[in-house]
Homo-oligomer: A and B are copies of this chain.
Amino acid sequence: MGAIESPIMLTGTQHVGRVADALQAWAFARDPEMGVTTWGLDTVVGECSDMYLSDVRGRHVRDEHVFAALDNATGGPVEEGAVGGGTGMVCFGFKGGIGTSSRVVPSDAGGFTVGVLVMSNFGRREHLTIAGVPVGRELQHWSLPVLSEKDEYDSEKTGSSIIIVLATDAPLDARQLHRLSVRAGGGLARMGGLQSTSSGDFVIAFSTTNRTPHHPTAPTFEQHVATETLMAHQQWPANVVINWLFEAATEATEEAILNSLCMGQTTTGRDDRVIHALPLEEMMAIMKKYGR
């Protein structure tokens, strides 16, 4: 029906059910009519596999963690790196996790914001690319995830998945949001992501402007729609609003992934497994070497 009616939560693969269940309980607690006189809740929970670092069989995510995340959610700057669902994530063999970025398009193209939050958990070391520079190939001396003889999975070595949450105040309908989602995939490709086979890469995109009334009072309601064609008497780049939004979606996704890496911290997980943070100074030296 074109609406998201739940907070969006991100977690590890094996915790999706538990997080969805706690989210339902939290929603029940806030609305005593839910499930009695009004329906709900279609929960939205995204996941990537954190089993390299995390003791996933321990089922350490419990209701109280979900409630705390929901009750303490605020606006403003977002904590990045190994926080929340991002705690156990691995990206290009370095520490991944939560990253965010945003772009504002020019005022004569509407002045809209596109914001992206990622939970990064993908990528082979040699594919890591930062602003076009083959950083990963220069950082092959940093240890990769070590798998045992018995390990049957390859997600940390081959790259696994990413969840991309894209929000905008541009008034976009479902078709247009899908178009932005495809372009978010472009930002993933520019970082060196292959969307390898072991898991799904999702974009959850929504507009904060066009809201669906829960109980409309007339057969139709008004919405604004962003233009996809040339605005009269103007010249690009100012004149096609959605092209600016496409560029914003690509760039913000690329940068959000980069930020998830830059904010990572070396982490020791289960069985003394260590994933290093992206070495920032070394990275900057490589950037310089390649003329940046």
Contact = CB atoms under 8 A, between A and B. Distances in A.
A110 B221 CA distance: 11
14 contacts: A13-B42, A35-B56, A37-B151, A39-B49, A112-B219, A124-B237, A152-B230, A171-B220, A186-B195, A215-B230, A215-B232, A219-B231, A220-B224, A221-B227
Contacts of A34: 57
A231 B152 CA distance: 9
Given A185-B189, A215-B230, A230-B215, A41 B57 contact: no
B291 A39 contact: no
A276 interface: no
A174 interface: yes
Interface residues of A, number: 108
A141 interface: no
Given A19-B17, A33-B150, A241-B220, A155 B1 contact: no
B56 A243 contact: no
B239 A154 contact: yes
Nearest to A220: B224
A72 interface: no
A17 B112 CA distance: 35
B154 A240 contact: yes
Interface stretch (A78-86, A95-103, A128-136, A258-266): A128-136
Contacts of A224: 220-223
Given A158-B240, A220-B241, 18 more contacts: A20-B21, A28-B57, A36-B57, A37-B148, A38-B151, A39-B49, A39-B51, A132-B134, A179-B197, A186-B188, A186-B195, A197-B228, A217-B231, A217-B232, A219-B227, A220-B225, A220-B226, A223-B223
Nearest to A232: B215
Nearest to A51: B35
Contact of A173 (B18, B129, B174, B214): B174
A197 B240 contact: yes
A109 B219 CA distance: 6
Given A195-B186, A196-B243, A231-B215, A152 B37 contact: yes
A282 interface: no
Contacts of A198: 39, 240
A273 to B, nearest CB: 12
Interface in A38-88: 38-39, 41-43, 45, 49, 51, 56-57, 59
A140 B222 CA distance: 37
Interface in A209-262: 212-232, 235-237, 239-243, 246-247, 250
A23 interface: yes
